[in-house]
Amino acid sequence: MFPLQRGRRLRTNESIRSLVRETTLSPQDFMFPMFIAEGENYKVEIPSMPGIFRRSIDLTVKEVKELFALGIRAVNIYVKVDESLKDNTGKEAWNPNGLMQQAIKAIKAACPEMIVMPDVALDPYSIYGHDGIIENGDITNDATNDALVKMAVSHAQAGADFVAPSDMMDGRVLRLRQGLDQAGFQNVGIMSYSAKYASAFYGPFRDALDSAPREADVVVPKDKKTYQMDYANRLEAIKEALWDVEEGADMVMVKPGIAYLDIVREVKNAVNVPVTVFHVSGEYAMIKAASERGWLDHDKIMMEQLMCIKRAGASLISTYFAKEAAILLNKK
């Protein structure tokens, strides 16, 4: 029988396509990851991430104001810690006058409505580049959790709206929730990196913070595979996300993004909290490199990938493209 249903009728022109479009993007869908360094009036581009910079706090605040004016309502912040402050305990991570704590205070003072989600993990503070404390050649889980609680409480004291544990230690969400509540921060949320895979897509990020595992004079794990997830696994991601929700996570994250959209959809179907997706540094760098060579149309690929992440189930997308995408969306 000749088809009575013709899908092309709904694709005839952009007006019709916009009427029936199932997924839309807006600047409010984005969170911008930011790298903060010591100093004043300091801004240095990260070579493997064109257009992304390490900034001192004063210039970070200026950038945050611009982001807010574009409609972006959340930033995920990371700090590049001086080598002299690194050790195996991570104690600089809960210094009330540390770089992260100063940055949180400055951002909230200048732009109170911007949601600030500082990273909670020890790798920027570790002499070994790992997300936890090393004992007997391994990452010790529970001692690391104790350190993460101190870190998260110090972020809350500085004014953070959410804490964002990216360490993948077992049980850390429950410990963080208990620690925040006991310190009087019941309204500070937790955005947990629940399904964070041991991915090669993180390379440029580790350049930005100098946080890759490094050789040492003691036995240390050569990579992060004892705590970050095996990228061959699917059911494990669902299990990890459900555990984090049970322990008190307000949002869960899947990381990386484009290569893991099947996981995004599975997690979205399994949990009853918002799902954040991290469109990571390697995914960003690949688009930048290919577009610089004229192999891909930068803006079209950028928007297509962001739309696909949203379509897969993301409530919030942490992406280095946030500012560029917001500018394009605001022009429409």
User: Which are the catalytic amino acids?
Assistant: 196, 255
As given in the structure block, the two tokens for residue 34 are 């930011």
C-alpha dihedral (175, 227, 29, 63), degrees to nearest 10: 90
Which residues lie below 8 Å from residue 249, measured CB to CB, with a gap of 6+? 173, 190, 191, 192, 194, 273
Q: How many CB atoms lie within 10 A of CB 7?
A: 7
- By the 10 Å C-beta count (0-12 exposed, 13-18 middle, 19+ buried), 95 is classed as middle
Asked if the peptide bond before residue 50 counts as cis, ω within 30 degrees of 0, the response is no
Partners of 254 in beta bridges: 195, 277
Partners of 316 in beta bridges: 276
CB 271 within 8 A of CB 213: no
Written as one string, the DSSP assignment of 254-292 is EESSGGGHHHHHHHHHH-SS-EEEEE-HHHHHHHHHHHH
Residue type, 276: T
CB 46 within 8 A of CB 205: no
Separation between Cα atoms, residue 270 and residue 170, nearest integer Å: 20
